A = this chain, B = another copy of it.
C-alpha cells in the first residue's frame, strides 16, 4: 500500500490502511487518518515557519489525488477528497467531507465548515470564512485586500448553502448570506441577502432564488438546492432536508 518510491519521514503518523503512491513525499509533522489514499507525486506536510509548529492533520477515509501539495499546520475532517494538483497552505481548518477540485488553491488562514465543495481551479484567499454545504464553482476567486497591495486583510464570509457560479469573484470583506446564489461571471462588492440571486459586475439583485425553476421539466424550484440535490451528502443531512421540505409541503394550502 506504501509504494517503495514514496519518501515517508519516520515521524509521520500514518493510520492503518493508508496508501501512498509513487514518488510522493510525506514530511514528519503529519497525522493521517485510517484508510486514506494519497496519490502519486504529492508533497504532504511541507514545513513552514507560518504553521506555528502545528501538524497537518488529515481525517480518515480521505483521498488526495496526484501532484497535490499540503503544508503543515492545517486540519481536515474525515472524507476529504481532492482533485489533482491542489495546494493548501498553513492554518486552514476544515470540517468533514470537504471536496477540493483539480488545481484549486487554498491560501491558508481559512475556516471551512462541513461538506463544502470547491470545483476545479478555485482560489480561496487568506482569511476566508466558509460555512456548511457551500458550493464554489470553477475559476471563482475569494479576495481579501481592499486596496492592493496593502497590509489590510478583509477576508470574505460565505454562509451555509451558498452557491457561487463559475468565474465570479467576491471582493474583500463581503458577506454572501445563507442560501444565496451568485450568478456566473459576476463581481460581488457588497452583502448578498439570504436566498437571493445576484449577478453582473458589480453584481446586482436579480430575484429571489425561489423564482428559478429546474430545467428538468418538473416545474419545481431549483433552490434551495438541498430539496432535490442529495448526491454525496451524509444520510443524516439528507434525511433532515427531506423532512424540512416534506413538512413545508404539508403546510401548503390546497
Instruction: List chain A positions with a Cβ less than 8 A from chain B.
Output: 5, 7, 22-23, 25, 39-41, 43, 46, 66-67, 69, 83-85, 87, 102-103, 105, 107, 117, 120-121, 123, 135, 137-139, 141, 143, 146-152, 154, 163, 165-167, 169, 171, 184-185, 187, 200-201, 212, 214-216, 222-223, 225, 228-229, 231
Contact = CB atoms under 8 A, between A and B. Distances in A.
Given A22-B25, A121-B123, A167-B169, 8 more contacts: A23-B23, A67-B69, A138-B143, A141-B166, A148-B163, A149-B225, A151-B231, A200-B201
A69 B143 CA distance: 27
Given A184-B169, A185-B187, A214 B67 contact: no
A143 B169 contact: no
A46 B41 CA distance: 13
- The number of times this chain is found in the oligomer is 3
Given A43-B66, A85-B85, A121-B123, A166 B151 contact: no
Chain A interface helix/strand/loop/mixed:
loop
Contact of A215 (B103, B154, B165, B214): B154
A123 B85 CA distance: 15
